[in-house]
Structure 1
């Protein structure tokens, strides 16, 4: 078998209802060109029958399909990294298994890469998501740019293309809390973006609930900027100065007017407000300390249960 030119990495988590159609459409899209390719499907600890289905799909195209089974759920980005560490192609495509990004768009990204870019990100056109998901994404993209200056128009789109050299740089970083699209954009020499189609989910449910989305945002925030800590440092200095003036004011008022009991509840409100800010600041500081703790333990980012690879390479 020729060495693949294109590697498609697809993380899979409880997507048994979509796997057959995913296989048919990805194969059909890639077979339209004579460029050699491989498909790496990474089972991120699925609880449905994705394990058996993936094994059966691999038997249909054993020289082109490789399967990686995790022994638990390590997250989408770790599933991608497992695939990245085993790709053999020069251009690497990432794709979701839910078919919201049509596989038929793959060669549009490949063509743009062949123009000289080392990273191409997809921008979902006419997003088929809920009102909350669409506008939360807009706000999140704006915040990310303001905090990190990384110009990702759509960080939630999984249809992306990477040059092999860029993948090697990300593998060498060895970070455990890794936000791949932003990391690739930062390391890229010639990034580009392209609008891609976005369909409604065919079946099943989104694996990103509100909690997971919040965790993802904390990942990129703590991975790429110290701005939250710096904001709370400046806020702390400002409140300290304001409190000093307030103490002087209360002291002079007591001397001039005498003891007062009015305003006790106002003082309680101010105290609780300041306590809330302090706890929020401690929480953000804890996020950064937690990231450091994860890195210094040097635990494996993921654990592989089984690899099915009949490529003989």
Structure 2
């Protein structure tokens, strides 16, 4: 059997309404590339009929279709990691199942990879997201770049291509919580980005809640930089110096003016500010300690229930 040049990895979580449309558009787009390929679907513990639809699609196109059925929901990035560990292509492309990235755009990232790049990201030409989601994404992109020095213009877009070398490097990592595009950027030697089209979700609703997005960005920032801890240390130094200066000022004022009863609520406000600052610092430290705790347990990142594939 000819090994595929291209592996397309698609995590699937409760996408039964949109999968038929995805199948109808994905395979013709890949057939037009005129190169050996495989499609690796990862069912991320879906509770709907997604797994059954993937099985039916495997039976229709067993020559180019593989499906990995996870026993439980592991999260989008861990599902992609499962795909990376089973992909056989020299160029590995990730794609969401919701059709917001048109499958017809896969050829663009492939062509860019063939120019000699080892990692190609994508930027949505016109985003079909609501104002809050777009604004929050831009703000987090800016903050992430300042903290991690990882330059990803559109971190929420999962249409990306990776070389076999970069994927092998990612597979060698044993992190239980990571952000794959950022991890790939740290290993890439010649990264690039291109502009691609973006469409509205074909069916269903986004699986990323506000909480999920916040958690994702915490993983991104604490997983790739110590800057948040360093910033907090600097803030602690500034607050300590400010508190010392205020203490000296209050002593001088007491000696000059005498005892005063005023200013009680100002001190309360200052106290609450410092308590909030301390709680924030404890939470930030907890993020790093929690990552260490998850890592040292050495629990599997995902559990595979079944793999649907032909003779390899």
TM-score of Structure 1 vs Structure 2, range by shorter chain? over 0.9
The separation in 2 between residues aligned to 1:72 and 1:205, in whole angstroms, is 20
Corresponding position of 2:81: 81
The separation in 2 between residues aligned to 1:137 and 1:258, in whole angstroms, is 53
Corresponding position of 2:290: 290
Alignment of structure 1 residues 1-313 onto 2, 5 Å = 1-310=1-310, 312-313=311-312
The separation in 1 between residues aligned to 2:172 and 2:33, in whole angstroms, is 32
Report the 3-state secondary structure (helix = DSSP H, G, I; strand = E; otherwise coil) of the residue aligned with 2:86: coil
Q: Following TM superposition, by how much is the alpha carbon of 1:71 offset from its aligned partner in structure 2, in angstroms?
A: 1.1
Report the 3-state secondary structure (helix = DSSP H, G, I; strand = E; otherwise coil) of the residue aligned with 1:85: helix
> C-alpha deviations, 1:157-186, integer Å up to 9, x for none?
010000011000001011111110011111
Given the two structures, how large is their TM-score scaled by the length of structure 1?
0.98
Report the 3-state secondary structure (helix = DSSP H, G, I; strand = E; otherwise coil) of the residue aligned with 2:211: helix
Dislocated runs of 4+, deviation >4 Å:
none
Aligned residues: 312
The separation in 2 between residues aligned to 1:244 and 1:139, in whole angstroms, is 35
Residue segments in structure 2 that go unaligned for 5+ positions in a row: none
> C-alpha deviations, 1:116-163, integer Å up to 9, x for none?
000000101111110111111111111111111111010010100000
Report the 3-state secondary structure (helix = DSSP H, G, I; strand = E; otherwise coil) of the residue aligned with 1:262: coil
> C-alpha deviations, 1:203-235, integer Å up to 9, x for none?
100011100000000010001111111111111
> C-alpha deviations, 1:47-69, integer Å up to 9, x for none?
11111111111100112111111
Residue segments in structure 1 that go unaligned for 5+ positions in a row: none
Report the 3-state secondary structure (helix = DSSP H, G, I; strand = E; otherwise coil) of the residue aligned with 2:122: strand
The separation in 2 between residues aligned to 1:72 and 1:58, in whole angstroms, is 21
* Superposed CA RMSD: 0.9
The separation in 2 between residues aligned to 1:62 and 1:308, in whole angstroms, is 9
The separation in 1 between residues aligned to 2:153 and 2:206, in whole angstroms, is 21
The separation in 2 between residues aligned to 1:55 and 1:153, in whole angstroms, is 36
The separation in 2 between residues aligned to 1:68 and 1:208, in whole angstroms, is 22
Q: Following TM superposition, by how much is the alpha carbon of 1:309 offset from its aligned partner in structure 2, in angstroms?
A: 1.2
Report the 3-state secondary structure (helix = DSSP H, G, I; strand = E; otherwise coil) of the residue aligned with 1:80: helix
Given the two structures, how large is their TM-score scaled by the length of structure 2?
0.98
